[in-house]
Structure 1
């Protein structure tokens, strides 16, 4: 494989009519130019320039090689500029997938920020509550909320934030049924569960862990339904802080047993290795990592 720098030096010597003029233009010593062109000729196995102390002549092969060398350098410069433009301003389509609740709770504000920062970037969001094979379906970034560690899948895994899970209920519900003073009292309350046969809630306060299961009033495997049911006074729900935070601030929900949490949910970005090197994908991942934690 030819050294592209040697090809560049050769074209400079030819274009400027000699080693001395080329040395002045490029700022490279004449001795270095001579050594590099000698190395190029040795690599090609031909003489490109006939030179002596008084004469400088380009051979026929040298002229032919020069024509191709100039074209090659132009293409190399175009390739470099294309990459630098992408690095300077991310552009093109970046495909993101997330569950519907995650998309609703976590993506709207970051997408606005991306649109402001990178007007040439097109972010395509696929919100779906089904298994998405991000490799087969050409996804660049998957945003995943998970309670347990994700399996080692060969994907780039980037942790964005870790959010506690709160016990929450509407003020009207607590006024009617009373505010629990201890975890054991939850057994006498209406619970908004993720499944009719849901496992007991595992509550933690520092190093203390207890399990308790309230009465099942309603079950749904969709967090926004549980949020609406809790705000509607139907019972107590376990919800990530980022999902119920706005309702807590608005007074629509109150924390139950505020010293206790019901575990934690981790938000991670999953990125295929071959896509993770693209400047546009890195830019989107950086904004998601920056903005999602602020939504809590």
Structure 2
């Protein structure tokens, strides 16, 4: 089996343009580099280099071996970097901006756990629904929820989650009004809407069937918790991301309506300026958030 150290000496000799230059780079005698390359040639049973007092060139097979040797060295360096990064305890402040629903339903329960795991981290969470320029406003991370793919930018993007938007209602509403048997029957049900201009819901099933329906508007709110509370009070049916309604469904305060249908999907993406993406503290937060 090949000695990986021999591959390392060989790659260094090629990169340096000769044994003497490689020896200076590696801090060892020139004879050591020469012997290791000769050992590699003997192990492989081929000549890798044409060596004279004036020239130092690769043979055809030597060129192929060099490509693989460099790949091995790159992977070894990457492994070392990963270990050093893991061993380095993250510390310092990490400024994060997130929307209100993301903060309430995806971060509030998780960030205290992160803070306990990394006591030297100082998480600074700024919650707002307004647009934030990460670079201009000095943030390390932004967490955005969106319905369509984000445009290309200079920011590093990591998809944190993707979830369906489901239809839910209070059991009391279903008991009083009956469960809708299909999307079309929603026209005779009360809907809780985000804006007064919102007239319809666009629903889809697993087979790709699309139906647009118009429930009877009963209540308007442009904030998710207010809509959910209105639904829990039995005012009507609401469309909300699954994460927001999950606990209420588990506790029986809400129930899925038309479970075979969804009102689209919402994606949550972590955005980071490129220059800050590899900082140990920022990396630790991103790695934690990417855990399922």
- When the two structures are superposed, what TM-score results if normalisation uses the length of structure 1? 0.70
Alpha-carbon separation, structure 2, partners of 1:168 and 1:85: 44
Q: Which residue number in structure 1 is paired with residue 15 of structure 2?
A: none
1:58-86 CA-to-partner distances (Å, cap 9, x unmatched) read xxxxxxxxxxxxxxxxxxxxxxxxxx689
Structure 1: gaps spanning 5 or more residues: 10-27, 33-83
Q: Which residue number in structure 1 is paired with residue 79 of structure 2?
A: none
Q: Which residue number in structure 1 is paired with residue 102 of structure 2?
A: 102
Q: Match of 1:276, SS?
A: coil
Alpha-carbon separation, structure 1, partners of 2:170 and 2:94: 39
**Number of residue pairs the alignment of both structures matches:** 221
1:20-54 CA-to-partner distances (Å, cap 9, x unmatched) read xxxxxxxx44978xxxxxxxxxxxxxxxxxxxxxx
Q: Match of 1:89, SS?
A: coil
Structure 1 residue 289 displacement after superposition: 1.2
Do the aligned partners of 1:113 and 1:287 also contact (CA within 8 Å) in 2? no
Structure 1 residue 112 displacement after superposition: 2.0
Alpha-carbon separation, structure 1, partners of 2:150 and 2:87: 31
Q: Which residue number in structure 2 is paired with residue 165 of structure 1?
A: 165
Q: Which residue number in structure 2 is paired with residue 116 of structure 1?
A: 116
Structure 1 residue 244 displacement after superposition: 0.2
Structure 1 residue 109 displacement after superposition: 2.6
Distance 1:8 1:149, change over 3 A: closer
Q: Which residue number in structure 1 is paired with residue 138 of structure 2?
A: 138
Ranges of 4+ aligned residues in structure 1 off by more than 3 Å: 5-9, 28-32, 84-87
Q: Match of 1:130, SS?
A: coil
Do the aligned partners of 2:85 and 2:280 also contact (CA within 8 Å) in 1? no
Structure 1 residue 137 displacement after superposition: 0.7
Structure 1 residue 94 displacement after superposition: 0.5
Do the aligned partners of 1:217 and 1:235 also contact (CA within 8 Å) in 2? yes
Structure 2: gaps spanning 5 or more residues: 1-20, 33-83
1:182-217 CA-to-partner distances (Å, cap 9, x unmatched) read 111111111011111114211111211101011111
Compare CA radii of gyration and give the structure with the larger one.
1
Do the aligned partners of 1:87 and 1:279 also contact (CA within 8 Å) in 2? no
Pair 1:149 & 2:149 matched: yes
1:241-280 CA-to-partner distances (Å, cap 9, x unmatched) read 1110000000000111111111111111011111102111
Q: Which residue number in structure 1 is paired with residue 58 of structure 2?
A: none
- When the two structures are superposed, what TM-score results if normalisation uses the length of structure 2? 0.70
Q: Which residue number in structure 1 is paired with residue 224 of structure 2?
A: 223
Q: Which residue number in structure 2 is paired with residue 271 of structure 1?
A: 272
CA RMSD of aligned residues (A): 2.3
Counterparts in 2 of 1:49-198, with a 5 A limit?
88-198=88-198
Q: Which residue number in structure 2 is paired with residue 281 of structure 1?
A: 282
